[in-house]
Amino acid sequence: MSTIDQVLACPTLPSLPAVAVEVLALTRSPSVSLTDISKVVQNDPGIAAKILKTVNSSFYGLQQPCSRLDRAMSYLGLQAVKSLVLGFSLVDATRRVGGGPGTDLKAHWRRTIFAAAAARHIAQLTHAADADECFTATLFQDIGVLACVAALGDEYASTLATAPDDHDLLCRHEREVFPFDHTTVGAELAKRWKLPDVFTEVIRKHHAPDSSGLNHAPVVRIAALSMYISEALSTPGAQALVARVASKADAWFAIPAERVAELLKSTAASASELAKLFEQDVSIPNAALILAEAQESLVTGQLQMHREADRLKAETQTDTLTGVWNRRRFDTDFANAIEKARANAEPLSVVMLDADKFKSVNDKLGHAAGDAVLKQLAARTRDTIGALGTVCRIGGEEFAIILPAHDSKQAGQIAERLRGAIAAAPMDLSEVEGIAPTLAVTVSLGVASMEPGAGDETTADKLLAQADQAMYAAKSSGRNCVRTAGEARAADTGRRAADKPGSPDPAGALRAADGILRVLVVEDDPLAGKLLSMLLQRLPCTEVRLAGSGAEVESIFGSNDFAPCIAIIDNNLPDGRGVDLVAAIRKLAPSIRKVIVMTATPTPALSKAALEAGADGMVPKADMCKDIGRWVLQLLGPAAKAA
């Protein structure tokens, strides 16, 4: 079996003419001039004559004929001259390739010339890359095919003869016979010829354009799209190939279907002229029929593309586990619902739902059980809500429900109905091995509403935050219940003495000089930390920072933008004891007025250690679970010292 080294070492491989080699060497210099290039080209009368002929052809469409090479080159510009020199050199260098009885390269040259013409038009249409560079790179993209034919003769010719009709499948077919394909051979040959890097990248990647690096991706995609256009123009009745062109043109360059039809027609016309210049016979079999079929295919294909786009859009906006809409869809629909409610002067509500103690399901029963619970939560929610609203999974075990035209009372009733539907029957876990077949699951729900006439200050973020706070108020009330934003505020009134006119501020002595109560919470349990932060932030003029470890505490102090008045530290942290952080925090933050340590398992010895370290007290976490509101006030008041 032939190897790539044997192919590249074959003496019959084509080589670039001297004029092309000199032009390539000159154009590597940023200071090269057209005069320098002209002197080299004039030394090859054949190439010079072809350039003049090309300039005066309809391919470039000059208004007046040009008889002088130097003037022609000034019309064209450096890149175009280089492009034509390399193009004509490629044709001349490979003219004798495929002369054997078993080889017919007419299809190769038809595909190459049509693709080069298409590449130029695509680049001009999209401005994604230089048109002449794309033209030449595409001419060279299948140089590996010619190299394999020249080196392997009939052995490779028989491989071509049995290859699939779709040229895009040729690489896979080649690798079934050889330990290489034409793209690897072509790329190595390009390196030996010292072609520009972009040419090498096109040769190597034009069958896998999406894997190309960022530097040359536009040129590689143009070459690949031009190859698809060439295939479509060479194959009568191939509506699927036209559909592929339309799909890739839209995906890569946002070219609409009607412009694709124009692109096919202009390519067909330009390719015919280019074939004459390159002295190749690439006539389209029944060109009128192919273009008519292409036009018809694009019309029907456009409808199919819209349907497919709708399907893909739905897939990207659907939560893969539960089948309800995902966070992306929620953000879009919620923003639209707010604008519609504001325009129509209608109410709008949003419900936040969170599975109670869900972390313990994953920790104790495994993620398969957790996934089963989430699927059934989503199904029951969707069945209960029906056409009343939109159900979305926005993260973890949290779901959000948009309820257009529902006020707070109506949304609360729906949320209560949903809570009951979930609590009424246990979840079925019979398909999860090694655990009990059922599991009782409850949820906590929070409702927030925008009433008719609400101003622009009501944003999606604010309304969702209100529902989130109401949901956590439901959790702090014992879980398995519904709280509205209004109820949550009312329930919290008794805990916020500072909100009452004339009442003393329990945190007054602890506030900074600017009146802000800044609290540092060090807690590695995200739920506990979020809950505590939420409750603290209900106090007037309060700012809370949350850290999950001692290292994060150092990071917060290192930023020099937060000077806490109070620190509340969990004693059980992933990188040490909270007690051991007390002295460090007092040293790092002279602004600290009170430091409290909390623990799930308080002992006299631990309390003594906390006080000796400089803490103002230690509070059992159990107190927090019983009455969080009172616990917060206790931390702020003098009673914390005696806890």
Encoded amino acid at 186, one letter = G
Q: Is residue 501 part of a domain?
A: no
* Domain stop point among 259, 274, 308: 308
- Same domain for 129 and 193? yes
Into how many domains does the chain fold?
Answer: 3
Domain that holds residue 220: 4-308
Tell me how many degrees the CA angle 516-519-520 measures, rounded to the nearest 5. Answer: 145
CB 173 within 8 A of CB 159: yes
Helix (H) or strand (E) holding 233: helix 217-234
* Residue at token pair 């806490």: 564
Q: Report the SS3 class of residue 124.
A: helix
* Domain stop point among 278, 308, 338: 308
- Same domain for 478 and 564? no
Q: Is residue 319 part of a domain?
A: no
For residue 483, the model assigns a pLDDT of: 93
Q: Which two tokens stand for residue 274?
A: 């280019």
- Same domain for 229 and 83? yes
* Domain stop point among 464, 493, 522: 493
Rounded Cα–Cα distance for residues 350 and 410 (Å): 11
Sign of CA dihedral 77, 253, 276, 19: positive
Q: Is 572 left (phi over 0), alpha (psi -120 to 50) or beta?
A: beta
CB 504 within 8 A of CB 512: no
Q: Is residue 527 part of a domain?
A: yes
Rounded Cα–Cα distance for residues 546 and 46 (Å): 77
Regions in the chain scoring below 70 on pLDDT: 1-2, 61-63, 98-104, 213-214, 236-238, 282-315, 454-456, 487-509, 514-515, 537-541, 559-561, 622-643
For the stretch 287-312, pLDDT in tens is 566 666 666 666 565 555 555 555 65
- Beta strand 517-522 pairing with 542-547: parallel
CB 205 within 8 A of CB 220: yes
- Same domain for 533 and 458? no
For residue 280, the model assigns a pLDDT of: 78
- Same domain for 439 and 384? yes
For residue 603, the model assigns a pLDDT of: 84
For residue 78, the model assigns a pLDDT of: 78
CATH number of the structural domain spanning residue 541: 3.40.50.2300
CATH number of the structural domain spanning residue 132: 1.10.3210.10
Q: Is residue 313 part of a domain?
A: no
- Same domain for 480 and 531? no
For the stretch 518-543, pLDDT in tens is 888 898 887 777 777 777 766 666 77
- Same domain for 281 and 333? no
CB 619 within 8 A of CB 639: no
CB 367 within 8 A of CB 358: no
For residue 401, the model assigns a pLDDT of: 97
Q: Is residue 514 part of a domain?
A: yes
Q: List CB contacts of 312: < 8 A, sequence separation 6 or more.
A: none
Q: Is residue 500 part of a domain?
A: no
Rounded Cα–Cα distance for residues 225 and 110 (Å): 16
Phi/psi for 623 (5° steps) reads -60, -40
Q: Is residue 489 part of a domain?
A: yes
- Same domain for 346 and 207? no
Q: Is residue 360 part of a domain?
A: yes
Phi/psi for 515 (5° steps) reads 85, 0
- Same domain for 47 and 136? yes
- Same domain for 219 and 362? no
- Same domain for 625 and 581? yes
Sign of CA dihedral 633, 635, 641, 643: positive
Q: Which pTM does this prediction carry?
A: 0.48
CA 509 to chain centroid, in Å, comes to 50
| Neighbour-count burial for 477-496, b at 16+ CB within 10 Å, e otherwise | beebbbbbbbbbbeebeebb
- Same domain for 578 and 524? yes
